[in-house]
Amino acid sequence: MSEAYFRVESGALGPEENFLSLDDILMSHEKLPVRTETAMPRLGAFLLERSGGAETDHAIPQGSKLELPLWLAKGLFDNKRRIISVELPKIYQQGWRTVFSADANVVDLHKLGPHFYGFGSQLLHFDSPENADISESLLQTFIGRFRRIMDSSQNAYNEDTSALVARLDEMERGLFQTGQKGLNDFQCWEKGQASQITASSLVQNYKKRKLTDMEG
Protein backbone atom coordinates (compact mmCIF):
# COMPACT_ATOMS: atom_id res chain seq x y z
CA MET A 1 0.00 0.00 0.00
CA SER A 2 2.70 2.46 0.82
CA GLU A 3 4.66 1.83 -2.30
CA ALA A 4 6.92 4.45 -3.68
CA TYR A 5 8.26 2.78 -6.80
CA PHE A 6 6.15 3.52 -9.87
CA ARG A 7 7.54 1.87 -12.95
CA VAL A 8 7.05 3.29 -16.43
CA GLU A 9 3.96 1.67 -17.89
CA SER A 10 3.76 -0.08 -21.20
CA GLY A 11 2.36 1.99 -24.03
CA ALA A 12 2.22 -0.94 -26.42
CA LEU A 13 -1.56 -1.08 -26.52
CA GLY A 14 -1.74 2.52 -27.64
CA PRO A 15 -0.39 4.17 -30.78
CA GLU A 16 3.27 4.08 -29.73
CA GLU A 17 5.43 2.24 -27.26
CA ASN A 18 6.82 4.15 -24.31
CA PHE A 19 10.48 4.82 -24.86
CA LEU A 20 11.43 4.25 -21.25
CA SER A 21 9.15 1.32 -20.49
CA LEU A 22 11.07 -1.87 -19.76
CA ASP A 23 8.00 -3.94 -20.60
CA ASP A 24 7.88 -2.39 -24.05
CA ILE A 25 11.57 -3.05 -24.59
CA LEU A 26 11.06 -6.71 -23.76
CA MET A 27 7.99 -6.84 -25.97
CA SER A 28 9.67 -5.30 -28.98
CA HIS A 29 12.42 -7.86 -28.77
CA GLU A 30 10.15 -10.57 -30.09
CA LYS A 31 10.74 -11.68 -33.65
CA LEU A 32 8.65 -11.53 -36.72
CA PRO A 33 9.12 -13.01 -40.19
CA VAL A 34 10.38 -10.58 -42.75
CA ARG A 35 11.43 -10.61 -46.39
CA THR A 36 14.23 -8.42 -47.65
CA GLU A 37 13.36 -6.37 -50.72
CA THR A 38 16.89 -5.26 -51.45
CA ALA A 39 20.32 -6.71 -50.84
CA MET A 40 21.88 -5.56 -47.59
CA PRO A 41 25.64 -5.40 -47.90
CA ARG A 42 28.08 -6.28 -45.15
CA LEU A 43 25.45 -7.66 -42.83
CA GLY A 44 26.09 -11.22 -43.87
CA ALA A 45 28.37 -11.63 -40.90
CA PHE A 46 25.32 -11.92 -38.67
CA LEU A 47 23.63 -14.62 -40.68
CA LEU A 48 26.48 -16.56 -42.21
CA GLU A 49 24.47 -19.18 -44.05
CA ARG A 50 22.56 -16.55 -45.98
CA SER A 51 25.34 -14.24 -46.92
CA GLY A 52 26.60 -13.95 -50.46
CA GLY A 53 30.24 -14.33 -49.56
CA ALA A 54 33.13 -12.01 -50.11
CA GLU A 55 32.31 -11.14 -53.73
CA THR A 56 29.05 -9.51 -52.88
CA ASP A 57 30.51 -7.68 -49.93
CA HIS A 58 29.10 -10.25 -47.48
CA ALA A 59 25.59 -9.19 -48.35
CA ILE A 60 22.29 -10.65 -47.38
CA PRO A 61 20.70 -11.29 -50.78
CA GLN A 62 17.45 -9.78 -51.92
CA GLY A 63 14.35 -11.79 -51.27
CA SER A 64 15.73 -13.79 -48.37
CA LYS A 65 13.45 -14.59 -45.48
CA LEU A 66 14.66 -13.55 -42.06
CA GLU A 67 13.29 -13.30 -38.57
CA LEU A 68 13.93 -9.88 -37.19
CA PRO A 69 13.01 -8.43 -33.82
CA LEU A 70 10.15 -5.94 -33.85
CA TRP A 71 12.33 -2.91 -33.14
CA LEU A 72 14.51 -3.66 -36.15
CA ALA A 73 11.55 -4.39 -38.37
CA LYS A 74 9.91 -1.11 -37.37
CA GLY A 75 13.11 0.79 -38.04
CA LEU A 76 13.71 -0.69 -41.47
CA PHE A 77 10.13 -0.66 -42.64
CA ASP A 78 8.65 2.17 -44.67
CA ASN A 79 5.55 2.60 -46.75
CA LYS A 80 7.16 1.91 -50.08
CA ARG A 81 8.73 -1.32 -48.86
CA ARG A 82 12.15 -0.40 -50.09
CA ILE A 83 14.18 -2.41 -47.64
CA ILE A 84 11.96 -5.06 -46.08
CA SER A 85 8.42 -6.27 -46.32
CA VAL A 86 6.76 -7.79 -43.31
CA GLU A 87 4.69 -10.94 -43.12
CA LEU A 88 2.25 -11.49 -40.32
CA PRO A 89 3.18 -14.15 -37.80
CA LYS A 90 0.92 -17.19 -37.86
CA ILE A 91 -0.98 -16.41 -34.71
CA TYR A 92 -2.33 -13.19 -36.15
CA GLN A 93 -3.46 -14.76 -39.41
CA GLN A 94 -6.83 -16.06 -40.42
CA GLY A 95 -6.35 -19.62 -39.17
CA TRP A 96 -5.65 -18.67 -35.59
CA ARG A 97 -8.16 -15.86 -35.68
CA THR A 98 -10.94 -18.40 -36.18
CA VAL A 99 -9.57 -20.41 -33.27
CA PHE A 100 -9.78 -17.34 -31.05
CA SER A 101 -13.27 -16.53 -32.16
CA ALA A 102 -14.36 -20.07 -31.43
CA ASP A 103 -13.28 -20.07 -27.81
CA ALA A 104 -10.76 -17.60 -26.53
CA ASN A 105 -10.49 -19.04 -23.05
CA VAL A 106 -8.82 -22.27 -24.00
CA VAL A 107 -5.83 -20.80 -25.75
CA ASP A 108 -2.46 -20.69 -24.03
CA LEU A 109 -1.49 -17.13 -24.80
CA HIS A 110 1.69 -17.33 -22.83
CA LYS A 111 3.06 -19.98 -25.11
CA LEU A 112 1.98 -18.23 -28.27
CA GLY A 113 4.13 -15.24 -27.52
CA PRO A 114 4.15 -13.81 -24.04
CA HIS A 115 3.24 -10.39 -25.34
CA PHE A 116 0.28 -11.28 -27.50
CA TYR A 117 -1.76 -8.10 -27.19
CA GLY A 118 1.11 -5.64 -27.15
CA PHE A 119 2.91 -7.20 -30.07
CA GLY A 120 -0.32 -7.51 -32.02
CA SER A 121 -1.13 -3.87 -31.45
CA GLN A 122 2.29 -2.77 -32.63
CA LEU A 123 1.99 -5.01 -35.69
CA LEU A 124 -0.73 -2.71 -36.94
CA HIS A 125 2.01 -0.25 -37.84
CA PHE A 126 2.98 -2.38 -40.80
CA ASP A 127 -0.07 -1.47 -42.89
CA SER A 128 -1.19 -4.95 -43.70
CA PRO A 129 -4.53 -5.26 -45.49
CA GLU A 130 -5.72 -7.46 -42.63
CA ASN A 131 -5.26 -4.75 -40.00
CA ALA A 132 -8.96 -4.30 -39.34
CA ASP A 133 -9.41 -8.03 -38.81
CA ILE A 134 -6.40 -8.28 -36.57
CA SER A 135 -7.52 -5.49 -34.30
CA GLU A 136 -11.03 -6.89 -34.14
CA SER A 137 -9.65 -10.30 -33.26
CA LEU A 138 -7.41 -8.90 -30.51
CA LEU A 139 -10.31 -7.07 -28.99
CA GLN A 140 -12.70 -10.00 -29.10
CA THR A 141 -10.11 -12.37 -27.68
CA PHE A 142 -9.58 -10.07 -24.75
CA ILE A 143 -13.28 -9.64 -24.15
CA GLY A 144 -13.68 -13.39 -24.14
CA ARG A 145 -10.96 -13.94 -21.59
CA PHE A 146 -11.50 -10.99 -19.36
CA ARG A 147 -14.32 -12.36 -17.27
CA ARG A 148 -12.34 -15.34 -16.16
CA ILE A 149 -9.28 -13.27 -15.28
CA MET A 150 -11.32 -10.88 -13.21
CA ASP A 151 -13.14 -13.64 -11.37
CA SER A 152 -10.05 -15.65 -10.61
CA SER A 153 -7.98 -12.69 -9.48
CA GLN A 154 -10.70 -11.43 -7.15
CA ASN A 155 -11.33 -14.76 -5.50
CA ALA A 156 -7.97 -16.43 -5.09
CA TYR A 157 -6.87 -15.28 -1.67
CA ASN A 158 -3.70 -16.71 -0.16
CA GLU A 159 -3.46 -19.53 -2.66
CA ASP A 160 -0.99 -20.71 -5.21
CA THR A 161 -2.11 -18.98 -8.38
CA SER A 162 0.37 -20.50 -10.81
CA ALA A 163 -2.28 -22.66 -12.42
CA LEU A 164 -4.47 -19.63 -13.01
CA VAL A 165 -1.82 -17.44 -14.61
CA ALA A 166 -0.06 -20.13 -16.64
CA ARG A 167 -2.01 -19.45 -19.79
CA LEU A 168 -2.18 -15.69 -19.59
CA ASP A 169 0.01 -13.36 -21.59
CA GLU A 170 1.98 -10.58 -19.94
CA MET A 171 -0.70 -7.91 -20.11
CA GLU A 172 -3.29 -10.25 -18.61
CA ARG A 173 -0.86 -11.21 -15.89
CA GLY A 174 -0.48 -7.55 -15.03
CA LEU A 175 -4.25 -7.30 -14.74
CA PHE A 176 -4.35 -10.39 -12.59
CA GLN A 177 -1.74 -8.95 -10.26
CA THR A 178 -3.66 -5.71 -9.95
CA GLY A 179 -6.74 -7.67 -9.02
CA GLN A 180 -4.83 -9.69 -6.46
CA LYS A 181 -3.35 -6.58 -4.96
CA GLY A 182 -6.79 -5.06 -4.60
CA LEU A 183 -8.03 -8.22 -2.93
CA ASN A 184 -5.07 -8.41 -0.56
CA ASP A 185 -5.36 -4.76 0.41
CA PHE A 186 -9.03 -5.17 1.15
CA GLN A 187 -8.47 -8.26 3.28
CA CYS A 188 -5.69 -6.50 5.10
CA TRP A 189 -8.05 -3.64 5.89
CA GLU A 190 -10.74 -6.02 7.03
CA LYS A 191 -8.35 -7.69 9.42
CA GLY A 192 -7.47 -4.34 10.87
CA GLN A 193 -3.91 -4.45 9.67
CA ALA A 194 -4.23 -1.36 7.55
CA SER A 195 -2.57 0.86 10.10
CA GLN A 196 0.31 -1.50 10.79
CA ILE A 197 3.61 -0.03 9.78
CA THR A 198 5.59 -2.49 7.72
CA ALA A 199 9.19 -2.66 6.73
CA SER A 200 9.79 -1.29 3.26
CA SER A 201 9.64 -3.90 0.53
CA LEU A 202 13.13 -2.94 -0.59
CA VAL A 203 14.51 -3.84 2.82
CA GLN A 204 12.70 -7.15 2.83
CA ASN A 205 13.95 -8.07 -0.61
CA TYR A 206 17.46 -7.04 0.28
CA LYS A 207 17.41 -9.18 3.40
CA LYS A 208 16.17 -12.18 1.47
CA ARG A 209 18.77 -11.66 -1.19
CA LYS A 210 21.55 -11.35 1.32
CA LEU A 211 20.47 -14.59 2.88
CA THR A 212 20.53 -16.46 -0.41
CA ASP A 213 23.87 -14.90 -1.33
CA MET A 214 25.38 -16.15 1.88
CA GLU A 215 23.95 -19.61 1.50
CA GLY A 216 24.75 -19.94 -2.16
Stretch binding other proteins (CB under 8 A), from 3-11, 111-119, 121-129, 167-175:
3-11
Per CB under 8 A, does 186 bind other proteins?
A: no
Instruction: Determine whether 215 is exposed, middle or buried from the number of CB atoms within 10 Å of its CB (0-12, 13-18, 19+).
Output: exposed
Please pick, from the candidates 14, 41, 53, 63, the single residue that binds other proteins as defined by CB under 8 A.
41
First to last CA, the chain: 32
Residue 111's alpha-carbon distances to 96, 141, 164, in angstroms, are: 14, 15, 14
Number of H helices, E strands in the chain: 8, 3
Residue 106's alpha-carbon distances to 31, 109, 166, in angstroms, are: 24, 9, 12
C-beta of 179: minimal distance to other proteins in Å? 22
Please pick, from the candidates 53, 87, 193, 208, the single residue that binds other proteins as defined by CB under 8 A.
193
What mask, x for binding other proteins by CB under 8 A, covers residues 51 to 80?
Answer: --------------------xx--xx----
Q: What is the footprint of other proteins within residues 86-145 (CB under 8 A)?
A: none
Per CB under 8 A, does 40 bind other proteins?
A: yes
The DSSP output letter for 90 is G
- The footprint of other proteins (CB under 8 A) covers 1-8, 19-22, 25-26, 29, 38-43, 71-72, 75-76, 83, 192-207, 209
